[in-house]
Structure 1
Amino acid sequence: MATNSGKPTLLLRNLALACVISHTAAAWAGGSACVDGTGVRACVTWSLQVNPVPNQNFRITFDATGEPNIELRTGDAGWEVYAVEVVDGQATNTVVNIASLTIDPSSPSQSFTVSIKKGSGPGAANVGTVNLDAASWTGHSSIGTGSHITGDLTGPLTIKSDGNGDGGELWLIVNGDVTSPSAISVPIVKYLRVSGDIAGDLDVTAQLDGILEFYGNVGADSVIVVEDFGEGATLIGNDKNYTFSGRLELPNGVPADAGGVAIGQDIAGTIDLMDADIHATLNCFSVTSTGRIINGGIIRSPATVGIGDTGHTTATLAGEATFAGVESGANVFFECSHLDGTLTIASDVAGNVLFGSAGIGASGVVLVGGDVTATGKNLVGSRRSLSG
């Protein structure tokens, strides 16, 4: 280099300037910024027209495997983050893993809403730790509308509401699994869909305010807690080809304005109603010999607790289901299902307890602790009456 025009320093400066200009024009226009690693480009955008400044408004580093760690520092209601593969120096539309997404607020009252997406599409493949909380911080955080990952959630996910109850909302589609030791802890679920298995815990600390649905197996070590339901909110386990082996806790039961609870998987674990009443629909496809529905309060009118599903005569209650009572106008309905376990009504049955054509098996037991009144229909198939 020393023999090439005698100006190596000037040449290096010109090359560096050219690189900076190219990077700025290509990736930092319109309120966005990108940082390249080895074969990956991690990008952030926000709601402001100016570009976010690296190491001031955000910071991106790469772990030993080359996956990006994205840290947001300046509060904004319109952050979006994503990571894509880079081939021959060009970014592709193939999303890749994000190792972590965190915040380090530059002031204690700033708030963050972050969507994991690229335009209208997914923003990452697997995602590790998501921690939108910080020490000595009074703001709030949310995972925004349209967030979508094509792979697994492999780490814990934490967001926070503030002292006024603002923020703390989760909107997320996970095409893959929620893997152990993942734990999702959020005040409010607006929409959460997990297409794969759930091995970690899910704690909705305030309320389900939209739809929570999961399609795969729920592992034996998984505990799902839904503290309360907003108007029209629905909890759905959506595939009878899988098994719910975990624990579902509903401290406020199923409120009257809820959309209802429907668990389509075979229940081999526990649904704990924690002595709360059922005011809206609770449907379960099948309860295996190890499955339990426990601590049910009174089934209130016009609620229905259903076991089984039309057209699936193999559905059964082989485990146990316990409720405090059945109010007049309420229903316990075994639709196309077989009672091989124990149904316990601790007090009066004033509503309807209806069994389909499958009826009660040789090992099936119905225990009623109070009176069976004449106000409802208490039938086994079309032949026998339920007696106390």
Structure 2
Amino acid sequence: MARTPGSVTRATASATANAVAGAGDLLSLLRDGEPRTRSELAAVTGLARSTVTQRVDALLASGLLAPAGAAVSTGGRPPVRFAFNPGARVTFAADLGATHARFAVTDLAGRVLEEHREDLDIALGPDHVLDRVVTVGERLLDHSGREASELLGVGLGLPGPVEHSAGRPVNPPIMPGWDGFDVQGHLTQRLDAPVLVDNDVNIMALGEHFATWPDEQHLLFIKVATGIGCGIISDGHVHRGAQGAAGDLGHVQLAREEQVLCRCGNVGCLEAVASGAAVARRLQEQGIDASSALDVVELARAGSVPAIQLIREAGRDIGEVLAAVVNLLNPSVIVIGGSLGLVGDHLIAGIREVIYRRSLPLATQHLRIVSSRTGDRAGILGAAVMVIDHGLAPSRVDARVNGT
């Protein structure tokens, strides 16, 4: 599942040589998983053979590159091929929801080595929850046979707004005691590794893009669960906005302005009307036992007509807001995930119905609206990829191989 960088041809060798400035840039070329000889690397990059040899040797010493067998000989000793070594380091990824958590240790290709899921109430506060994150992380590292010293970094998703650059939650509505808490600093001190923190929907978008849609440059991931959120992939990268608040779809007010109070304090928010919790509330008003999004899913799967009707209506409400987003951002793929997304076509049918009716024809000409294929693994995959892309950035690889 390694991410494939853009291909480089001989015709663009001179431009590539200008771009390849160090060992880190050379590693970026090799992260496509294709083994190459020193001569092939020199031909692709336009660099001198001696320069390529120096950088390959540095990467071999760091463990990030490994021999990958011999190429076909054209006379004399067969040349050795080299490939990216995803086992050189590991990541620890944690995806925290309102009431559950999923954890994983992965290699540098995003392959899950060990994972664990448990119920964990985010409202217990940062000290309790993060202590649990550390405990599970240490246990998973041990079970995978890896040491904490082998961590490239730690990736964490939180169910609320996050200032990504600082690693701090900002006024999270369902996370009492977390506002402004230095999550990044707390975990860095405990695990002695770089820590990256982001909103849970952003890492889900990153995970889905990495695992399923790597060739799509513009993707929206819509999480429909207790709340509603949107992760935005633009030009192949997560778009977070100025303060990390981009994609807060759930607190866009519906045009019909329903006077339903939202947990943010406003009325008529999409989340207050169309989330899993909102659908459960409406079923309760009809005398049907449902207290959560998962209860709604079970009812729909059992053929409950009221549940199916309300889910379809929720899809139309979500589609109403997304129609404007489609006109604004022009994505090629919209992925529907989260617990309510587990109901399959009922929710997506409502979303499609409104988007295709309300959005501009050019914006929907090739638009695909699909269910998540990574399921509840999207978050841990995205948290791992966030760490991998950060830790294997050319400048950081150069620093690592140079011992700085």
Q: Which TM-score bucket, shorter chain as reference?
A: under 0.3
Bigger helix fraction: 2
**Rg larger for:** 1
Q: What TM-score do you get using the length of structure 2 for normalisation?
A: 0.21
Query: Relative contact order, CA 8 A, sep 6+: which one is greater?
Result: 2
Q: What TM-score do you get using the length of structure 1 for normalisation?
A: 0.21
